[in-house]
Structure 1
Amino acid sequence: MQALQQFAETVLVPTQLLLAMFGMGATLAVKDFALVLKDPLGLGLGLALQLLYVPALAVGFATAFGLGPGWSVGLVLVAAVPGGATSNLLTFLGRGNVPLSIAVTISSTLACALTVPLLLRLLAASHLPADFDFPTARIFRDVGLYLFLPLAVGMVAYRASPERARKASDWAIKLSVVVVLVIAASSLGSGRIKPLEYGLLPPAMIVLFVVTLTLFTPHLCRLVGRSDADAVALSIEVVVRNVAIGLLLVRFFFPGEPEQGQVLFVCLFYAGLSTPVALPLLFRHRMGKSPALGRGQADAPPRVHGEPAPGETAIGERE
């Protein structure tokens, strides 16, 4: 059993992240990075949601539920990682603002080598032992190695042969999902996670956390004047997170202790839950309804920064 756990940590988890990030890179061209500059207000909102709103909500849940150290660190870890390529695909299927989704994914992913260790140090340190040596440098190294290298290789493959790269991306992402399932099975088989011993509170807390993100984020987007297409994109970006990064970092917390299994359980359970919970957002928008429950539709096309709105001159005056 110990050998199975060691294999999952040293081989399966890095492999899963390498596949996922290659799959993401193999759909991107250098010109896609220009999308970051197209809608700076939308991008700023997306990053604020990722870096402030979700982590703050995670801390609030950990405090309100009186969670132990393992559960609290697991929830903060999930909240600290960025969105991934899956959120871009779901945004496309939901007829959301795909360029905005890609821009937020790219920006938060490139920044996460700095933001992930920073958020963990700020928000998880109080749940760790007093003598815990926070592995900021190792987290920075691993995130850089396992994110940026396969992302760059995927982009090179896309530049060389877009059609082949798209096919390779499809297979890589499918394989990464299979590897996540194998990781979950190996963790159960090795006794590293023990769902029957955890009771109903931890799973219920994770479900409520995901549902809260799904229900409230569209309203926040609408409150600041974004369209439903933007609300779909940003809500999915917030809910469907790149938990593969979290799986890579689990080993740094509570090594050899039962709490490490709790951190792992949060990551795996969230990964399996987030996409199904986010699907109603897609279906509502595809059916012409607002993803913000109780609000009327607001699907004006998103404005590019500096462009006049329909019916306005370039200086904002009505024609």
Structure 2
Amino acid sequence: MDSALTTVGLPLALGIIMFGLGLSLTLDDFRRVREQPRAVVIALACQLLLLPAVAFGIVVALDLPPLLGIGLMLLAASPGGTSANLFSHLFHGDVALNVTLTAINSVVAIVTLPLITNLTIAHFDRQDSVDLQLGKVVEVFAVVLVPVVLGMLVRARRPGVAERADKPVRVGSAVILAVLVLGIIVDQRDKIGEYLGDVGVATALFCAISLVVGYVVPKALGVTEGQAIASSMEIGVHNGTLAIYVAVEVLDVTEISVPAAVYSVFMFVFAAVWGSILSRRVSRVSA
């Protein structure tokens, strides 16, 4: 990809997105685990255990090429994106739960993202050409967590500013992700048809399964409707920008970013359709 886009634009984009996340967070969002531990634990189990297993099953079943397989697993290991909160709000989910899950996942991913990614790299025996080193992981999460902390400080000290900035930053985050996806498509234009053939079905399946699992499993285990919807959006709407950043800037292989880019296209469409289905279901039950 173009060096200006990767060395300046991509870190800046991720920083803006994570700053926007920080604007919506308070310390109480981390403490809320004590108030609704059941919903949090179930959602985290789906996110950290079920989703990587589902993604790996898709990689094996569809016999994805190694770099695209690594990319799908990297995406599966990425925490929920800030757009999950917006979708949850639109479709009557428990937004406070979303915020709590995103906050926790963004911290837990410091360990789980490199672990899952490196296990996948080892599975494909690509350690000679692809390596997610600990030092690089620390750099990634400095880019991720420092803007979050800054956003939280703004929220704590200037709540009015944070409230006014929240919507523009969310809209900007979606625009930034769209630009990144377009940049990847342009950079890989000679192979994009082949990539779509290889990974289009895989990413569509993974997106649909993530959304459904995120709702069905918590609901079956007794959480409330609003919490199940929040869980669905948190688990189905990944931080594609983080996955793209790690692929391009850390692993230095643009091809690994393709699943996250393709997923991001499906993600917004599928989340909107699934949210509409759930909203109609809630309306029928309430009637």
User: What is the TM-score with the length of structure 1 in the denominator?
Assistant: 0.82
The share of aligned pairs that are identical, in percent, is 25
Partner of 2:86: 89
Segment drifting more, 37-46 vs 193-202:
193-202
Displacement of 1:52 in angstroms is 0.4
Distance in 2 (alpha carbons) for counterparts of 1:159 and 1:187: 37
Displacement of 1:236 in angstroms is 0.8
Distance in 2 (alpha carbons) for counterparts of 1:133 and 1:272: 26
Segment drifting more, 137-146 vs 56-65:
137-146
Superposition RMSD on alpha carbons, in Å?
2.2
Partner of 1:241: 238
Q: Answer whether contact 2:68 2:199 (CA < 8 A) is retained.
A: yes
Displacement of 1:85 in angstroms is 2.1
SS in 2 for 1:225: coil
Residue among 269, 276, 296 paired with 2:269: 276
Runs of 4+ aligned structure 1 residues displaced above 4 Å come to: none
Displacement of 1:183 in angstroms is 2.4
Partner of 1:293: none
Partner of 1:59: 56
Q: Answer whether contact 2:19 2:151 (CA < 8 A) is retained.
A: yes
Matched, 1:263 2:260: no
Segment drifting more, 42-51 vs 281-290:
281-290
Distance in 2 (alpha carbons) for counterparts of 1:139 and 1:48: 26
Q: Answer whether contact 2:114 2:137 (CA < 8 A) is retained.
A: yes
Distance in 2 (alpha carbons) for counterparts of 1:89 and 1:188: 26
Distance in 1 (alpha carbons) for counterparts of 2:224 and 2:58: 29
Distance in 2 (alpha carbons) for counterparts of 1:74 and 1:157: 34
Q: Answer whether contact 1:5 1:192 (CA < 8 A) is retained.
A: no
Change (3 A) 1:215 1:93: same
* Code of the aligned partner of 1:6: S
Please, which runs of 5 or more residues in structure 2 have no aligned partner?
none
Segment drifting more, 123-132 vs 236-245:
123-132
Please list, as runs of the form range in 1=range in 2, the aligned pairs for 1:209-228 lying within 5 A after superposition: 209-228=206-225
Change (3 A) 1:192 1:9: farther
Please, which runs of 5 or more residues in structure 1 have no aligned partner?
291-295, 300-319
Residue among 73, 76, 90 paired with 2:73: 76
Distance in 2 (alpha carbons) for counterparts of 1:56 and 1:201: 19
* Code of the aligned partner of 1:269: V
* Code of the aligned partner of 1:264: S
Displacement of 1:89 in angstroms is 2.0
Distance in 2 (alpha carbons) for counterparts of 1:15 and 1:130: 29
Partner of 1:203: 200
Count how many residue pairs are aligned between Structure 1 and Structure 2.
285
Displacement of 1:228 in angstroms is 2.0
* Code of the aligned partner of 1:206: T
SS in 1 for 2:2: helix
Q: Answer whether contact 1:228 1:285 (CA < 8 A) is retained.
A: no
Q: Answer whether contact 1:12 1:179 (CA < 8 A) is retained.
A: no
Displacement of 1:191 in angstroms is 3.8
Change (3 A) 1:133 1:282: closer
User: What is the TM-score with the length of structure 2 in the denominator?
Assistant: 0.90
**Which one has the bigger helix percentage?**
2
Displacement of 1:269 in angstroms is 1.2
Deviations 1:19-56 (A, max 9, x none): 10111111222222221221112111111111101111
